Amino acid sequence: MPNNKGVVYIGPGKVEVQEIAYPTLELRSGPGVPPMNAGRQCPHGVILKVVASNICGSDQHMVRGRTTAPQGLGLGHEITGEIIEKGRDVEFFNVGDLVSVPFNVACGRCRMCKEGNTHVCLNVNSQPGGAYGYVDMGGWPGGQADYVMTPYADWNLLKFPDKDQAMEKILDLAMLADIFPTGYHGAVTAGVGAGSTVYVAGAGPVGLAAAAAAYFLGAAVVIVGDFNQQRLAQARSFGCETVDLNQDATLSAQIEQILGIPEVDAAIDAVGFEAKGQGGSAQPAIVLNSMMEITRAAGKLGIPGLYVTGDPGAEDEDARVGSLKVRMGLGWAKGHGFTTGQCPVMKYHRGLMEAILRDRVQIAKAVNATVLPLDEAPEGYADFDRGEAKKFVLDPHGMLTR
C-alpha cells in the first residue's frame, strides 16, 4: 500500500503537508466527520491517484480562522485524478480512467439529486450538501493529497474521453471540479447572455472564472472590480474592463465612465462574507449592497461568493452568525433576482469540458493557473493569501507540465 501525504489545517494561518492515512472505501472517523458518517461504507466509491488538486479561496476562509473548521481537517475539494481502485458497486468506470470530481459530494438518489440540486444532497451529510475537505460538509477527506477516496462514483465522476488529449489540456480541465462551473453558475444565474453588460465583484480566481464565463456566454462588456492591482491586470489580460476600488469615485461613477450609464444588466458576487471597504475595513455586506445599486431594474445577481452561518473572526455579533446588513428593500424595489449557494457542478461540467477540449475557452490562462508540488502547498497558501494573481494547482505526482 503506498504512503499518502496531504495538506492539513493546523490552526489559523497555518497548514502543513503531513503523512495521512491511505484511503479505503470507508469514511473513517476523524476531524469534522459527523457521527452519522463515521464508519460509513462506500462500495460505490473509487480510490484516486490525484493528478491535480487546486487551492481555492474557500479554503483560505478556513485557513484564516474565519470558519468553525476543526484542527486536523484535511483540505482540498478541487480534485482531478486517475482511478486506481474501484468498489464492487461501481459499474461504469474502470481502473485507469482519468476523471474530474465535482466538489459537491452527492448520492444521486435523494429528492435534491434527482431534481439536479446536487449541491444540497440530503444523504451525504448531517445537513443538506456535502464537499471534500471542507468544514461542516460531511467530513469527506480532502483531495490535496497523493490519494483520495470519492464515493458514489457512477453518479459523481466525469470521465475524460481521451486520456492523452486530456493530459494536454489538464490545467484547463482541472478547473472543472469547482472554479469554472462556479464562475459559470454565477454568470448563468445573473442572467448573462448575448450583449449583456456585466459587473464582477472580485478579481480572485472565482471572479476571473466568472468573467471568462460571462464572455463565453456572449457578454458584450465585463467589468471587474477589486482593490488588488495585480489581479485587475490579470482581468484585463483577457479583455475585461476594470474598476479600481481604491479610487474615491463611486462604483456607479466608474461604471458610467466605461458604459456611458451607471448600471449593468447583471452582477456577480465573487467575494463573499470577507468583503472589505476602502482601507481594509470589514464590511461583509458591502458587495451585495453595491451590486444592488449598480444593477438595472429587474436585473439579476449571481452570488457564488461564500457566505457562512458561523464566522468566529467577524467584528460584530450579527456577522458571527451570518446576519448581515443587506439593503433588501433596495433589491425588492428594483425587482432583483438573487441566486445563492454552492454551484451544482454536475449541471455544467460536461458541457464546459467539451468547450475546453474543442478550444472554445482557455480557463487556465484566464485564472493564471500555476503549478506547485504538493510539498509546496503551504507556500502556495501564503502567496494566495497575499493576493497573488494566480490559481495554484497542486501536483502530487509530478504529472503536470511545469
Same domain assignment for residues 280 and 188: yes
Same domain assignment for residues 254 and 384: no
Specify the CATH number for the domain of residue 44: 3.90.180.10
Helix, strand counts (H, E) of the chain: 15, 17
| pLDDT band with cut points at 50, 70 and 90 for residue 6 | very high
Tell me whether residue 400 is in a domain.
no
Same domain assignment for residues 213 and 168: no
Tell me whether residue 330 is in a domain.
yes
Supply φ then ψ for residue 384, to 5 degrees.
-60, -45
Domain end position, chosen among 324, 339, 354:
339
- Block residue for cell numbers 424595489: 333
| Domain tally, the chain | 2
Say which amino acid occupies 116.
Answer: G
Nearest CA to 145 out of 63, 69, 53 is that of 53
Q: Is 232 exposed, middle or buried (0-12, 13-18, 19+ CB in 10 A)?
A: buried
**Percent residues over pLDDT 90 in the chain:** 97
Same domain assignment for residues 102 and 169: yes
Same domain assignment for residues 76 and 49: yes
pTM of the model: 0.97
The average pLDDT across 274-288 equals 94
345 strand-pairing partners: none
Same domain assignment for residues 196 and 166: no
Tell me whether residue 308 is in a domain.
yes
Nearest CA to 306 out of 53, 80, 67 is that of 67
Q: What are the grid coordinates assigned to 2, written together?
A: 503506498
**DSSP-derived secondary structure for 307-332:** --S--TT-SSHHHHTT-----HHHHH
The domain of 71 spans: 5-178+344-395
SS3 261: coil
Same domain assignment for residues 196 and 162: no
How far, in Å, CA of 50 to CA of 63, rounded?
A: 22
Quick check: 269 pLDDT over 90?
yes
Does residue 297 contact residue 335 with C-beta atoms inside 8 Å? yes
HSE of 93, CA atoms in CB hemisphere, 13 A? 33
Quick check: 401 pLDDT over 80?
no
How far, in Å, CA of 394 to CA of 78, rounded?
A: 10
Please give the torsion angle defined by the CA atoms of residues 379, 382, 386 and 389, in that order, rounded to the nearest 10 degrees: 50
Q: What are the grid coordinates assigned to 62, written together?
A: 478556513
* pLDDT on residue 182: 98
Same domain assignment for residues 197 and 86: no
How far, in Å, CA of 83 to CA of 248, rounded?
A: 53
Tell me whether residue 51 is in a domain.
yes
Tell me whether residue 401 is in a domain.
no
Does residue 185 contact residue 90 with C-beta atoms inside 8 Å? no
How far, in Å, CA of 304 to CA of 299, rounded?
A: 16
Quick check: 360 pLDDT over 60?
yes
Same domain assignment for residues 253 and 166: no
Nearest CA to 243 out of 207, 209, 200 is that of 200
The average pLDDT across 162-182 equals 97
CA angle, 23 then 26 then 27, to 5°: 90
Which residues are CB-contacts of 93 (< 8 A; sequence separation ≥ 6)? 46, 83, 86, 99, 153, 154, 157, 159
* pLDDT on residue 159: 98
* pLDDT on residue 1: 75
How far, in Å, CA of 226 to CA of 205, rounded?
A: 12
SS3 373: strand
* pLDDT on residue 322: 92
* pLDDT tens digit sequence for 15-41: 999 999 999 999 999 999 999 999 999
Quick check: 347 pLDDT over 90?
yes
The interaxial angle of helices 349-357 and 179-189, nearest 10 deg, is: 110
Quick check: 402 pLDDT over 60?
no
Per DSSP bridges, beta strands 391-395 and 46-54 are antiparallel
Domain end position, chosen among 339, 365, 380:
339
Tell me whether residue 23 is in a domain.
yes
How far, in Å, CA of 325 to CA of 332, rounded?
A: 15
Tell me whether residue 105 is in a domain.
yes
Same domain assignment for residues 320 and 377: no
Q: Is 264 exposed, middle or buried (0-12, 13-18, 19+ CB in 10 A)?
A: buried
SS3 147: strand
Domain end position, chosen among 339, 356, 378:
339
Tell me whether residue 402 is in a domain.
no
Q: Which residues of 291-323 are buried (b: 16+ CB within 10 A; e: fewer)?
A: bbbbbbeebbbbbbbbbbeebeebeeeebeeee
Same domain assignment for residues 160 and 278: no
The average pLDDT across 54-78 equals 96
Same domain assignment for residues 203 and 306: yes
Task: State the first-to-last Cα distance of the chain, in angstroms, to the nearest integer.
Answer: 28
* pLDDT on residue 2: 87
* pLDDT tens digit sequence for 46-61: 999 999 999 999 999 9
How far, in Å, CA of 88 to CA of 373, rounded?
A: 33
